[in-house]
Amino acid sequence: MTASWQFWAVLSAVFAALTAIFAKVGVSGVNPDYATLVRTIVILLLVAGIVAVTGQWQPPATVGGRTWLFLVLSGLATGASWLCYFRALKLGDAARVAPLDKLSVVLVAVFAAAFLGERLTLANWLGVLLIAGGAVLLAYRA
C-alpha cells in the first residue's frame, strides 16, 4: 500500500486539512508572516532529520542545473503560497479559505495540460469543473 501514489496523496490531503486547522488556531496570536517563518523552520528541521536518518543526503554538486532551477522556483512558489495562505487564514474562516486554496487542483490540471502536455479525459475535465464549482460554493457566504 505504501508504494501507491494514491496512498500518499490521501495522506497529503489529511495532513493539509490538519495544517489548515492547526494554522488557523496558531496564527490567531501572531503576525501571519512570523507564523510562516515558524512553520518553515519546523519543516526544515523535520525534513533534514528524515534525510539524515534515512541516508538520503546527496552532495549538491550531483544535482543538475535544471533541477536546481526548478527546485528553487518550486521553493519560491511554496513560500509565496504559504505567506498568502497564512494571511488568508488570519483574515478568514478556515472552512472558507481552504477550499479556495484548493483551486490549486484546478490550476494544476490546466497548467499540466498547457505546459507539460498531460492529457486529461472529458471525465477528468468534468471533475476539474466540479472541484472549481465546489470550491467557490464552499467559499461563498450566503
124 located within any domain? no
Digits of tens for pLDDT over the chain (142 positions)?
Answer: 788 999 999 999 999 999 999 999 999 999 999 999 999 999 999 999 999 999 999 999 999 999 999 999 999 999 999 999 999 999 999 999 999 999 999 999 999 999 999 999 999 999 999 999 999 999 888 6
Q: Where are the alpha helices (DSSP H) in the chain?
A: 5-26, 32-54, 65-91, 94-101, 103-115, 122-139
Question: pTM for this structure?
Answer: 0.86
Is the Cα dihedral 56, 62, 66, 71 positive or negative? positive
Q: What's the structural domain count of the chain?
A: 1
- Say how far apart CA 51 and CA 46 lie, in whole Å: 9
Q: Which domain holds residue 81?
A: 5-101
Residue 15 lies in a domain: yes
The answer as to whether 127 is a domain residue is no
Instruction: Please tell me the distance from the alpha carbon of residue 63 to that of residue 117, in angstroms, as a whole number.
Output: 25
Q: How far is CA 123 from the centre of its chain?
A: 24
Residue 134 lies in a domain: no
